């Protein structure tokens, strides 16, 4: 049964190492003849699509494309061959005539397979400017396969034009890979991975460019979700320590650049361990989520609320022009936290210790600001909690050296 299929293996130089009897008969080659992949399919200029696909398979891609050979449409399925160490040693290929509906993969099934995979191929004749596309690519773009003067670049997202052009230019007319967005018919935006390769005649003149587009929208969405999760506290959905460091650095840079001030408030809940011990961690987690919500509701949209760990939160207040304004922001948050919480039908009363560091008086770097605010919070904590303390610059006169401690 195997000899009834068009199957072959090739090495990294695209020299054929084995093939089925049916393919040998179709190609009209002898058993002792030294063959290359190009010898199997005649001299059809559209063979460039197939050769390009073999090169992509050698780069580790598994792909399935449509290409007409001598007027007959074929489906090519290519996979890299690998040694036990995982190194690519060649390509294995299988071809099926698309109009051969008697087989397990008829034309409709094959076209559906390409559409389902969200991929397709295109071929541009550089001598005439003619572009043809596979049915899978037509489905992805939302356009008929037969469109006069089709321009594949016309589907590039306007915001990505410059990056795509730079990638193509950097390749110098040779092979390139580019992740970008396309604007499909109906204004549908999809993220794609484009691979393309240019082919030349015997004089070195470019005659054709072939490429594939693979829909990677779901992959990009998952990457974005993972990136967001990496910067998000799993319990409260607030920015986590890594996100705080990144965003506070940007705020400090903006303050330095524009001669502005910001305040960093380090908040630690008083006696929260007792709540966890008495009611359990599940209840304690619910309390922390309620605290996070209340903090967010009591700052501006431009301010940042982050959770470091346990019952520690940091709030970054932007555009704070005076020490009094920084203390007012801290007092407001402390009073909001002292309002009774209702968690799972139970009343919960909390208080907090808040340390405040003002840029640039309390520090000029992210680490300095967080450290000083943390230190001032512990001063409040050691004085019984339920208060705020502002860190002042060490160069200030002695009466202000330790800042302002307020019991609220």
The tens place of each residue's pLDDT in the chain, 408 residues long, gives: 344 578 899 999 999 998 888 888 887 777 667 888 888 876 555 567 788 888 888 988 888 777 777 777 788 888 899 888 889 999 999 888 876 444 443 444 444 444 444 678 888 888 888 888 887 888 888 888 777 778 889 999 999 999 999 998 998 878 899 999 999 988 889 999 998 888 887 788 888 888 889 898 888 888 777 777 788 898 999 999 999 999 999 999 999 999 999 999 999 999 898 888 888 989 999 999 999 999 999 999 999 999 998 999 999 999 998 999 999 999 999 999 999 999 988 999 999 999 999 999 999 999 999 999 999 999 999 999 999 999 865 444 433 333 455 555
Instruction: Please report the beta strands in 166-322, taking only residues with DSSP state E, as ranges in sequence order.
Output: 176-184, 188-200, 206-215, 262-269, 304-309, 312-318
| Parallel/antiparallel/unpaired status of strands 206-215 and 346-348 | unpaired
> Which residue do the tokens 């197939």 mark?
50
| Parallel/antiparallel/unpaired status of strands 88-97 and 72-82 | antiparallel
Integer Cα distance of 184 and 259 in angstroms: 46
pLDDT value of position 46: 55
- Return the closest-CA partner of residue 133 out of 143, 289, 260: 143
All residues at 6 or more sequence positions from 227 whose CB lies less than 8 Å from its CB, including other chains: none
126-to-49, 90, 141 alpha-carbon distances in Å: 14, 29, 22
Integer Cα distance of 109 and 162 in angstroms: 37
Buried-state track 299-333, b at ≥16 Cβ within 10 A, e below 16:
beeebbbbbbeebbbbbbbbbbeebeebbebbeeb
Instruction: List the structure tokens of 276.
Output: 């966890």
Q: pTM for this one?
A: 0.53
pLDDT value of position 101: 40
User: How many degrees, rounded to 5, is the angle at CA 25 between CA 23 and CA 27?
Assistant: 70
- Return the closest-CA partner of residue 24 out of 223, 32, 231: 32
Going from the N-terminus, what domains does the chain have, and what CATH number goes with each?
2-221 (3.30.450.20), 231-407 (3.30.70.270)
| Parallel/antiparallel/unpaired status of strands 16-19 and 119-125 | unpaired
- Return the closest-CA partner of residue 103 out of 5, 214, 188, 172: 5
All residues at 6 or more sequence positions from 380 whose CB lies less than 8 Å from its CB, including other chains: 353, 354, 355, 386, 387, 388, 389, 405
């Amino acid at each position: 049964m195997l000899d009834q299929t068009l199957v072959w293996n090739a090495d990294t130089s695209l020299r054929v190492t084995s093939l089925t009897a049916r393919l040998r008969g179709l190609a009209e080659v002898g058993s002792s003849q030294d063959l290359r992949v190009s010898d199997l399919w005649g001299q059809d200029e559209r063979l460039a699509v197939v050769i390009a696909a073999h090169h992509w398979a050698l780069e580790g891609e598994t792909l399935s494309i449509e290409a007409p050979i001598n007027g007959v449409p074929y489906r090519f399925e290519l996979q890299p061959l690998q040694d036990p160490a995982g190194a690519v040693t060649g390509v294995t290929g299988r071809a099926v005539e698309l109009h051969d509906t008697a087989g397990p993969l008829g034309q409709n099934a094959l076209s559906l397979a390409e559409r389902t995979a969200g991929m397709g191929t295109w071929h541009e004749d550089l001598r005439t400017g003619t572009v043809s596309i596979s049915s899978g690519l037509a489905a992805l773009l939302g356009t008929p396969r037969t469109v006069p003067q089709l321009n594949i670049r016309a589907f590039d997202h306007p915001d990505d034009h410059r990056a795509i052009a730079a990638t193509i230019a950097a390749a110098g007319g040779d092979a390139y890979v580019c992740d970008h967005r396309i604007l499909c018919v109906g204004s549908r935006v999809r993220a794609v991975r484009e691979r393309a390769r240019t082919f030349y005649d015997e004089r070195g003149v470019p005659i054709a460019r072939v490429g594939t587009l693979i829909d990677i929208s779901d992959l990009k969405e998952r990457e974005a979700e993972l990136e967001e999760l990496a910067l998000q506290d799993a319990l409260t959905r607030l920015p986590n320590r890594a996100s705080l460091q990144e965003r506070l650095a940007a705020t400090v840079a903006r303050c330095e650049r524009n001669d502005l001030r910001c305040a960093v408030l380090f908040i630690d809940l008083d006696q929260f361990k007792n709540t966890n011990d008495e009611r359990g961690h599940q209840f304690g987690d619910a309390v922390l989520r309620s605290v996070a919500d209340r903090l967010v509701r009591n700052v501006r949209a431009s301010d940042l609320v982050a959770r470091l760990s346990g019952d520690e939160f940091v709030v970054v207040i932007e555009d704070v022009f005076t020490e009094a304004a920084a203390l007012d922001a801290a007092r407001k948050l402390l009073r909001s936290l002292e309002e009774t919480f209702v968690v799972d039908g139970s009343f919960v009363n909390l208080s907090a210790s808040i340390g405040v560091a003002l840029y640039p008086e309390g520090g000029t770097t992210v680490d300095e600001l967080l450290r000083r605010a943390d230190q001032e919070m512990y001063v409040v904590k050691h004085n019984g909690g339920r208060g705020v303390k502002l860190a002042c610059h060490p160069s200030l006169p002695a009466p202000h050296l330790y800042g302002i401690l307020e019991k609220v």
